[in-house]
Amino acid sequence: MPRTFPNGYTVPLTLAIDSPMTEADHVRHVSVLAPRNPLIEVATFHFVPQRSEPRVSARIRLAEPQYVLAVAEMNDGTLLMTESWVEVATNGCK
């Protein structure tokens, strides 16, 4: 995600998870969270082993400058998390 973006209405988001996507080792889903938004869960992306790549590009809304979190659940129940600070100039959740 960009560190700064002029408005909170269309902030670009790209996720790429390093996973072989086999039956034994794959990403089940990824949730994108923005804790300062009125609705914290911004999006959830589901993946299918051997049928999808764990990559997503989208645009999301942000209410104010904040950390955006991505939490991935692997097939064995392991959770992986990353965060990115995004500074937006205008509220995209009015």
Note the pLDDT tens digit of each residue in 15-71.
998 889 999 999 999 999 999 999 999 999 999 998 888 999 999 999 999 999 999
- Supply the pTM of this predicted model: 0.90
Give the pLDDT score at 53: 87
Domains of the chain in sequence order: 4-88 (2.60.40.2470)
SS3 13: strand
| C-alpha span between 89 and 70 (Å, rounded) | 22
Whether the predicted pLDDT of 85 surpasses 90 = yes
DSSP string for 19-60: ---BTTB-EEEEEEE-TTSSSSEEEEEE--TTT--SEEEEEE
Whether the predicted pLDDT of 94 surpasses 80 = no
Residue 75 is classified by DSSP as T
| C-alpha span between 46 and 66 (Å, rounded) | 24
Q: What is the mean pLDDT of residues 76-86?
A: 96
